[in-house]
Chain A
Amino acid sequence: MKRWLVFALVAVAVSACSAAASGEELVVKEPWVRPSPMAAGNGAGYMVIQNKGATDDALIGAEADFAEAVEIHETFTAQPEDMAGTGGEGGESMGGEMMGMRPVQSVPVPAGGEAVLQPGGYHIMFIGVTQTLEPGSKVTLTLVFESGKRLQIEAEVRAQ
């Protein structure tokens, strides 16, 4: 009897530890992607990734079967001088603000902190969307982290 009890306690302890280690350290809140007609051929995904663990991590990629390629991009505000050599002049004073997008290798998800992927900032960029993303439906994507963790999530398709 005693042996069984010890075995059961150890089993419970081990499973609790492994759950804490692998399962709930990275928590994804409110993931959503834009409907596909909103960005012809491309798409964007947003979410907040919380790191409840004690180790810094970073989002380094994502996978989705509804796009030909998936990258992490960042929207930035550009000044005309950033664009030196490309032939522009006077953008800020005359035509107003300029914005652009660029791929990034990773988004930091610090220990005890979070990474915010939102319109006008970091987003997961779906390139060559192969199916119609209807508002109200859900899509599955996999987030890939520097630590080697992979997180499969369901994101809602909505306009904003």
Chain B
Amino acid sequence: MEQEPTLRSMKVPLILVVFAAVAFVVVPAILMVAVPHPHGTLYDDPPLVEDFELPMAEGGTFRLSDYRGKVVVLYFGYTACPDVCPSTLFTLKRAVEGLGEDAQDLQVVFVTIDWDHDTPEKIVDYLSYFNEDFIGLYGSEETIQPLLDEFNVQVYRSSEDETAAGYTITHTTSLFVIDREGYLKLRMHHDPTGSVSNTRVENMIQDIRYVLKGRI
């Protein structure tokens, strides 16, 4: 009979300890894992990307709405770009490899910003070096410029006498991630400085996975 009050008095602190543990350890831990922390930039009010069509370098027509159900990563570049584009696409190639089976629901799309020079053959050759499943789109200023406007991709050609290459193109290097319903969710950044590190690949994998799983 004498022990009863002792037991009761023990119960209160025990509940407090459990409560404190849940409040300060378990909940934050769950939040850390459950709340996405993308490395890229989220769009506050994700816009529905207007449907578009462009010819594919391998033949046929690409229509964005045909890819509902898949996550689409869009990259705007040019094949004669020796530094930033290959570095970005190489990281993306490794990210796709790292995604494993999840990559089945992912489509990487390269859109040329050098419509005067990038022929379908050049684009196919170029992309096959990275991943044969990457789709390349080509066209003309009239057909591609509206897409650049939609994603606010800036493209500037250098003057012709600057380099023996004839020209270089300064351009927006972000990777645009469109979710399964066609909403533009995320803009991934790729720092091309130095070699492609595992960390950069992992960050890209994580961001793409968030969109694949519908978590952002």
Chain A residues with CB under 8 Å of chain B are 34-35, 37-44, 68-69, 71, 73, 75, 78, 80, 83, 86, 88, 90-91, 94-103, 118-121, 123, 125-128, 159-160
Contact = CB atoms under 8 A, between A and B. Distances in A.
Interface in B33-52: 41
Contacts of A97: 172-174, 189
Contacts of A38: 82, 86, 90, 126, 129-130
A40 B164 contact: no
A118 B153 CA distance: 25
Q: Using C-beta atoms within 8 Å of the partner chain, give the interface range for chain B.
A: 35 or more
Contacts, number: 145
Nearest to B127: A37
Given A88-B156, A100-B171, A160-B195, A39 B163 contact: no
Given A42-B82, A96-B173, A119 B193 contact: yes
B121 to A, nearest CB: 10
B198 to A, nearest CB: 12
B124 to A, nearest CB: 10
Contacts of B153: 95
Contact of B154 (A69, A88, A118): A88
Interface of B: 41, 79-87, 90, 118, 122, 125-126, 128-130, 151-154, 156, 158, 162-165, 168-174, 187, 189, 191-196
A105 B154 CA distance: 27
Contacts of A39: 79-83, 85-86
A32 to B, nearest CB: 10
Contacts of B194: 118-120
A40 B152 CA distance: 26
Given A80-B154, A120-B84, A120-B191, A99 B41 contact: no
A96 B164 contact: no
B165 A96 contact: no
Contacts of B85: 39
A23 to B, nearest CB: 29
Given A37-B128, A127-B164, A102 B158 contact: yes
Given A159-B90, A160-B90, A96 B83 contact: no
Contacts of A102: 158, 162-163, 168
Contact of A100 (B41, B128, B151, B168): B168
Contacts of B83: 39, 44, 73, 75, 101, 119-120, 123
Contacts of B191: 120
A56 to B, nearest CB: 25
Nearest to A40: B79
B102 to A, nearest CB: 23
Contacts of A90: 152
